[in-house]
Structure 1
Amino acid sequence: MELRHLQHFVAVAEDRHFTRAAERLMVSQSGLSASVRALERELQAPLFVRTTRSVMLTEAGRALLVEAERILAQVRAAREAVAAVQGVLRGTLSLGTEQCIAGVDVARLLARFRRRHPDVEIRLRQAGSGALAEEVAAGRLDLAFAVRPQTDTDQLRSVPLTSEPMTVLCHPTHPLADGGPVTPEDLGGEAFVDFHPDWGPRRTTDAVFTGAGVQRTVTLEVNDVHSLLDLVHEGLGVAVVPRHFGHKREASTLASLPFRGAAEYETVAMLPPQEATSPAARALMGLLTADVKDGVPAG
């Protein structure tokens, strides 16, 4: 099995199209098709269901994709490790993060990394914690800043960054605005503004209400912090968010109430196993942990 066969297979799986994958790889479509057929012959299984417009992975193809991405990530890490030993950090740093993650200023951290390692290409992707965990475990991301997964696995480990309490935001005219700490029971009949279910704050809040046996209704679902704050500002619902969201300018006119009995919102850096962690990811974590030890705000 040749690495180029795996690279060609992964490209087709990502693009779901032979022509687009060939253009991206800068190879002929006939050569790409021959490469995938050679891989199918070796594995004695079809990897794609081909149609006139697109291709879809077979069950065997889906199983191979997980391992192929992991193998290619390890090969890339090996090449970059050799370059690092030679004194030059090269290659690509693929980073994932949730929006407004606590414990790290991602933009400032990446700017510092770029100044120290100008030969490394930085790629950044925002997504929910669940998707980021899957991409780190599959080798598509070098590391990600997100909410702690339920458990570490053989393919995913987490390094704690920070934790903070959750807080309730509501319009200042809301009946709860002048009260004290709020419990899940106090919010049982409220309409909520919240993120999509994959995002860390939503996962944390869902777990709290499920644990309390209180049903809640998310009527407005968003995928960015500023929209959430704007909707709460207009009195369209209440929101349970990490405490640092209340420090944003858009939240200055909102009532912020302690959320009693809520689990801590814990953010981490998610990485592959030590032996599969790329030199670029190690260098980035080195900058981050050095700041933490020195008492400097992360980033």
Structure 2
Amino acid sequence: MDLRALKTFEACVRLGHFQKAAEELRFAPSTVTLHIQRLEADLGVSLFIRDGKRVIVSEAGRWLRHEASALLNSIRTMRRTVSDIAAGDGGAVHFAAIEPIASQRLATVVADFCRTRPKVQLTMEVGGSNSIAERVRAGELDFGICSVPAAALMLEFEPLMEDKLGVMMRADHPLANQPDITASDLARQTVLVKEPTCIYRELWDRALSQTDNSAISYHEVGSIFVIQQMVKQTCSVGVVPIYSGLEMEGSVVIRPFTNLNPVVTLGIVYRDKDSLGKASILLMDAIKELH
């Protein structure tokens, strides 16, 4: 069925006159007549009853007008949606990031993206670095913010920043007066660290293995924010990435290490830029501006 003829038919019925339909559609009157004749021939029915100079819509025409209006509205919506997706103002973005970069660095960028592109269906998850890379590879995520993925995953990686580990403690803790901390300073402390699958825990274990303090004892806690609250309430210390946003004025501070250099590179990981939607690319570009 010719959509142009259907559009012409809908205009004729809605405006009640072939001439008015021709003016609205900017067609010659003969073109309007031709469209109606072709549509009637295609359907095998008369859509209008000619009564002298009057043209009356037939029963079949009245039914078709209702269906044609719904179809044409659907097509207009479809065109707008496709156009929005192509421009990055529509579609869906599904990505994940590790903590604390998700809350400390990305939250503002994502909030601004949602404000400027409200039609985009955005899903942001928080997870572990290895899991994020594997899900990007599997196609479950458009992209991720994590550490360098395993080479076997064959993913693209664009560095964003470097995270360094430090020691979180109460502001009144004896070590808080030191500008930086050595690994040996932790030998007599209750140390809180992330779980073994966390990139920051892996980073800490690698750094500690290069010193004579590998016997430091610690407790495993699965959340940096839980570590923060535990440190605030007790005399324990936590090994966490250095983010000023994790400090709490007057109660919790973070001090760097002096004899260790535990650094991990974080960046954007994705499979293939050509397969990404425009909205995903725009959000990735906004995130890149962080550094």
TM-score range, shorter chain: 0.5 to 0.7
Say whether residues 1:271 and 2:263 are aligned partners: no
Amino acid across the alignment from 1:107: A
- CA positional deviation for 1:143: 1.1
Q: What is the match of residue 259 of structure 1?
A: 257
- CA positional deviation for 1:136: 1.0
Contact 2:88 2:279 survives alignment (8 Å): no
What is the rounded CA distance, in whole Å, between the counterparts of 2:182 and 2:219 in structure 1? 20
Contact 2:87 2:278 survives alignment (8 Å): no
Contact 1:152 1:158 survives alignment (8 Å): no
Aligned length, in residue pairs: 208
- CA positional deviation for 1:115: 3.8
- CA positional deviation for 1:287: 2.5
Amino acid across the alignment from 2:199: G
| Mapping 1:72-91, distance limit 5 Å | 87=87, 89-91=89-91
Identity of aligned residues (%): 21
In 2 relative to 1, CA 252–202 (structure 1 residues): closer, same or farther, beyond 3 Å? farther
Amino acid across the alignment from 1:231: M
Amino acid across the alignment from 1:254: V
Contact 1:154 1:273 survives alignment (8 Å): no
| Mapping 1:158-237, distance limit 5 Å | 158-212=157-211, 214-223=214-223, 225-237=224-236
Amino acid across the alignment from 1:105: R
- SS in structure 2 at match of 1:94: strand
Q: What is the match of residue 112 of structure 2?
A: 112
Q: What is the match of residue 126 of structure 2?
A: 126
Amino acid across the alignment from 1:271: Y
- CA positional deviation for 1:229: 1.1
Amino acid across the alignment from 2:263: E
Q: What's the C-alpha RMSD, in Å, of the aligned pairs?
A: 3.0
What is the rounded CA distance, in whole Å, between the counterparts of 1:188 and 1:275 in structure 2? 51
Say whether residues 1:144 and 2:151 are aligned partners: no
Contact 2:200 2:240 survives alignment (8 Å): yes
- CA positional deviation for 1:152: 4.3
- CA positional deviation for 1:149: 2.4
Gaps of 5+ in 2: 1-81
- CA positional deviation for 1:144: 1.5
Query: How does the TM-score come out when normalised to structure 2?
Result: 0.60
Contact 1:161 1:267 survives alignment (8 Å): yes
Gaps of 5+ in 1: 1-81
Structure having the higher Rg: 2
- CA positional deviation for 1:253: 1.8
Cα displacement string for residues 70-108 of structure 1 (whole angstroms, at most 9, x for unaligned residues): xxxxxxxxxxxx867854654321010122307973232
- CA positional deviation for 1:259: 0.7
